[in-house]
C-alpha cells in the first residue's frame, strides 16, 4: 500500500467487489465443492450420495491404472520440461550472439507461442500421419515403424514432441530477455578472464540466468501437467483407449465421461495439493536462495 493512500470508505469496497464476487462464485465455491465431494460416493443414477470418508483416496492409491498414469505423467513432465528448456536456452544463447538477423530469428522462433495447444495437436496429427506424415517418413527412414495412436510409446513420443514444439517459444522469450539484461560490463569482464566461449557460458552466463531458469522450471512443470490437455485430447482424437494420458486428462475422463464424481474430485484434490506444493517450493527456493542481483 502507498503511504499517501486515499481514505474513502466505500469506494475501495466497491472497486474490489466485482473481483471478489467472481472468485467467490467461480473459484472458492467450486474448490470447496471438489474437496467436499471427494469424501462422498456419488450414486451413478443421481440418487444422492453417501459419505465414504477417505475411501476415494484409498481407491486411488490402490488403483494400478491410476498409478501407471501418474508415473507416465512424471516421465512426460520431465521430458517436456527438460527438452523445451534446453532447446530454448540453446536458441536464446545463439540469438543473443548473432548481430545480423537477430530480430528475424526472434520473430520466427516465437510465433508458435500464440498457437493453441489443441491446434498444435492437430498439426501433430498431420506431421505424424500414418501414410504420408513427414515425421513418420523421417522415422521410417531410420528404420522406426512409427504408429501414432496404435503403439503406446510412439504416441507418447509424438505427444512429447508436439508439447515441446509448443513450449519452446515462451522459454526462448524469457531466456533471451534474461540474457539481454546481463550488464555489458559483466560480459566484458568475463571475456577478459575466460577465453573459451563454453567456459564463459557455464561460469558466468548460466548462473546469472538461474533465477529465470527456476521460474521457468516451475512454469514448464505446470504447463506439462495442465496445459498439454489440448495436445493430448486432439492427438488421441477424444478416444483415450490404451493411449497415454496425463493426470489432468484422467480427471476429465473419469468425471465428465465416466460420471465418477467422487473419484474424479479426489483426483482434483490430489492435483491441487501437488500445485500448492510446487508453488510453495517455488517461493521458498526462488525468493530466498537464488538471488544474485
Partner 1 sequence: MTEANAGVIDHAASHTPPRKRRIRWGAIGDHAVLIVGSLFMMLPLLMVLQMTTVPDVEVIKTGPSLTIGHQLPENFDKAMFQASGFSGQNTGLNMLKNSFILGIGFALGKILIGMMAAYAIVYFRMRFATLAFWVIFTTLLLPLEVRILPSYEVVQKLGMLNTYQGLIIPLIASATATFFFRQFFRSVPEELVEAARIDGAGPVKFFIDILVPLSRTMIAAMFIIMFVYGWNQYLWPTMITTEEDMFTLVRGIKQITQVLEGNRIPEYGRANLLAIIAIIPPVMVVIFFQSWFVKGLTESDK
75 or 90: whose CB is closer to partner 1?
A: 90
Q: How far is the CB of 125 from partner 1 (least distance, A)?
A: 6
10 or 51: whose CB is closer to partner 1?
A: 10
Q: How far is the CB of 233 from partner 1 (least distance, A)?
A: 7
Q: How far is the CB of 242 from partner 1 (least distance, A)?
A: 18
121 or 244: whose CB is closer to partner 1?
A: 121
20 or 54: whose CB is closer to partner 1?
A: 20
Q: Note the Cα 29 to chain centre separation in Å.
A: 25
Phi first, then psi, for residue 144 (nearest 5°) are -105, 110
Q: How far is the CB of 73 from partner 1 (least distance, A)?
A: 13
Please state, in angstroms and rounded to a whole number, the distance separating the CA atoms of residues 76 and 288: 29
1 or 142: whose CB is closer to partner 1?
A: 1
> Residue by residue, what is the 3-state secondary structure of 207-252?
HHHHHHHHHHHHHHHHHHHHHCHHHHHHHCCCCCCCCCCCHHHHHH
What sign has the CA pseudo-torsion 182, 187, 189, 194? Answer: positive
Q: How far is the CB of 100 from partner 1 (least distance, A)?
A: 7
Q: Which helix (H) or strand (E) holds 160?
A: helix 152-180
Beta-ladder partners of 41 = 50
Amino acid at each position: 500500500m502507498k503511504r499517501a493512500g486515499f481514505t474513502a470508505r466505500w469506494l475501495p469496497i466497491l472497486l474490489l467487489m466485482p473481483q471478489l464476487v467472481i472468485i467467490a462464485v467461480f473459484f472458492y465455491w467450486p474448490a470447496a465443492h471438489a474437496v467436499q465431494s471427494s469424501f462422498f460416493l456419488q450414486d451413478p443414477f443421481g440418487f444422492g450420495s453417501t459419505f465414504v470418508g477417505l475411501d476415494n483416496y484409498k481407491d486411488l492409491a490402490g488403483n494400478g491404472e491410476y498409478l501407471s498414469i501418474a508415473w507416465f505423467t512424471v516421465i512426460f513432465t520431465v521430458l517436456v520440461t527438460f527438452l523445451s528448456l534446453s532447446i530454448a536456452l540453446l536458441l536464446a544463447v545463439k540469438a543473443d550472439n548473432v548481430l545480423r538477423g537477430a530480430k528475424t530469428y526472434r520473430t520466427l522462433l516465437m510465433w508458435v507461442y500464440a498457437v493453441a495447444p489443441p491446434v498444435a495437436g492437430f498439426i501433430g496429427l498431420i506431421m505424424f500421419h500414418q501414410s504420408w506424415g513427414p515425421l513418420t517418413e523421417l522415422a521410417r527412414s531410420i528404420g522406426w515403424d512409427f504408429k501414432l495412436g496404435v503403439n503406446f510409446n510412439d504416441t507418447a513420443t509424438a505427444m512429447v514432441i508436439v508439447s515441446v514444439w509448443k513450449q519452446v517459444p515462451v522459454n526462448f522469450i524469457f531466456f533471451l530477455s534474461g540474457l539481454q539484461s546481463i550488464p555489458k560490463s559483466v560480459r566484458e569482464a568475463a571475456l577478459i578472464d575466460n577465453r573459451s566461449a563454453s567456459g564463459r557460458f557455464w561460469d558466468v552466463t548460466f548462473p546469472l540466468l538461474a533465477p529465470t531458469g527456476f521460474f521457468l522450471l516451475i512454469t514448464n512443470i505446470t504447463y506439462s501437467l495442465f496445459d498439454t490437455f489440448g495436445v493430448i485430447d486432439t492427438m488421441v482424437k477424444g478416444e483415450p483407449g490404451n493411449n497415454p494420458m496425463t493426470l489432468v486428462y484422467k480427471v476429465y475422463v473419469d468425471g465428465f465421461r465416466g460420471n465418477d464424481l467422487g473419484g474424479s474430485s479426489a483426483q482434483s484434490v490430489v492435483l491441487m495439493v501437488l500445485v500448492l506444493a510446487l508453488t510453495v517450493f517455488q517461493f521458498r527456493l526462488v525468493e530466498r536462495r537464488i538471488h544474485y542481483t
